[in-house]
Amino acid sequence: MKPNETQAIEKLNANPGFTKLTGLQKSALLLIALDVESSAELLKNIDADDVEAISAEISQVKNTSSQILDSVMGEFYNMVKAREYVLEGGIEYAKSILEKSFGVNRANEIIEKVKSITTLKGFDILKKADSTQLVNFLVKEHPQTIALILTHLSPDQTANALQELPADLRGDVALRIATLGKVSHVTLRRIEKVVDDMAGLTMSQSVGKIGGTKSLATILNRTKVSLSKEIMDQILDKDPEVAAEIKRLMFLFEDLINLQDKDIQKILREIDRKDLTYALKTADEELSNKIFANMSERATELLKEELQYMGMVKLKEVEAAQARIIDIVKQLEESGDISLNIRGSVEEVYV
């Protein structure tokens, strides 16, 4: 990179307005700055959700100075060049070239951004692998490595992978997903190697908090009931407190929307009327209508009237009422009276 070109880009990147921009805003401004054909080509390689988010951001753009647009273009250029250097000779080679142009600190910033992009691409490739491929590759790895990789995939994909893991490994991996916190650099380097081997990409990631009980609860909600129970029993043996927290998170009040009408009616017969009134205080219209549709016309009118005139209530009271209802829901499922139809893509088997 030429010295005068480097100085110009660095001067632009020091622009106060530029430094306050989010990644989404920079993406929107980049597409605005490019010609229509180039923007269209870039959008082809972006996920639909991201395209929607960027489009929304573009619609919010009003007056933007040419200096800020130039800064965005400059950063994009830096990232492209850095990626080229990495492909030519690896991270260290790219860093040495960038340090000559930008200095150590700025070079490190650019390299970290390139690494994070590579990480996302690597996991995007893993997300396209079927569960059998995934398990065949991961089964020889340490349970902690398996857990870390699975937390980056969708709940449905992770649920399917858990089903295919050997039984003696399944509970260990599930517990590790639930208890993941800060991850050591040694472990992250191992993950980099595993994903690099599987996806053909160089990976890296900052230390951060991932996984957790909520993550595992979402995954178990998408597995077969028998498998979910087996995993929960294994976790209960090893860590009762974690098991209790996962069980609490595995079914949410808003998940009632997914149940069949006959099951909703059974639940309504068992729960306290006051609890239902409080629980619906924060419910969305779709869930409320689902409940009303399974009540008599007179009962619906009375409940709507109570909701209309009950006034302000403490959020913790609403959450407590919802929790009591969910406890009853779980009891009804355990007794076989109802089925919780929130199992994602996993098919229920009837005999």
pLDDT in single tens digits along all 351 residues of the chain: 444 444 444 444 445 466 667 777 887 888 888 777 777 777 776 766 677 777 777 777 777 777 888 888 887 777 777 767 665 556 677 777 777 777 888 777 777 766 655 554 556 666 667 777 788 778 888 888 888 888 777 788 888 889 889 988 998 999 888 887 655 556 666 666 666 666 543 333 333 344 577 778 777 766 766 677 788 888 888 888 888 888 777 777 888 998 999 999 999 999 999 999 999 998 899 999 999 999 999 999 999 999 988 888 888 898 889 889 988 998 898 888 988 755 443 444 444
Residue 337 within a domain: yes
Residue 271 within a domain: yes
Counting Cα atoms < 13 Å in the Cβ hemisphere of 86 gives 20
Say yes or no: 106 and 7 in one domain: yes
pLDDT at residue 265, rounded to an integer: 95
What's the rounded Cα separation, in Å, for the pair 14 and 9? 9
Residue 238 within a domain: no
Say yes or no: 83 and 155 in one domain: no
pLDDT at residue 199, rounded to an integer: 53
Say yes or no: 286 and 210 in one domain: no
Residue 257 within a domain: yes
Residue 73 within a domain: yes
Domain boundary among 230, 245, 270: 230
Dihedral angle of Cα 124, 125, 129, 135, to the nearest 10 degrees: -90
pLDDT at residue 349, rounded to an integer: 45
Residue 237 within a domain: no
Q: Say how many domains are in the chain.
A: 3
pLDDT at residue 346, rounded to an integer: 41
pLDDT at residue 269, rounded to an integer: 94
Q: What is the CATH number of the domain that holds 272?
A: 1.10.220.30
Say yes or no: 133 and 201 in one domain: yes
Say yes or no: 108 and 138 in one domain: no
How many beta carbons lie within 10 A of that of residue 225, not counting itself?
Answer: 16
Residue 244 within a domain: no
Say yes or no: 70 and 15 in one domain: yes
Residue 120 within a domain: no
Say yes or no: 13 and 104 in one domain: yes
Per the CB < 8 A criterion, the answer to whether 114 and 82 are in contact is yes
What's the rounded Cα separation, in Å, for the pair 217 and 214? 5
What domain range is 93 assigned to? 3-113
Domain boundary among 49, 78, 113: 113
Say yes or no: 17 and 100 in one domain: yes
What's the rounded Cα separation, in Å, for the pair 276 and 321? 7
Say yes or no: 75 and 157 in one domain: no
Rg, the chain, Cα only: 26
What's the rounded Cα separation, in Å, for the pair 246 and 218? 9
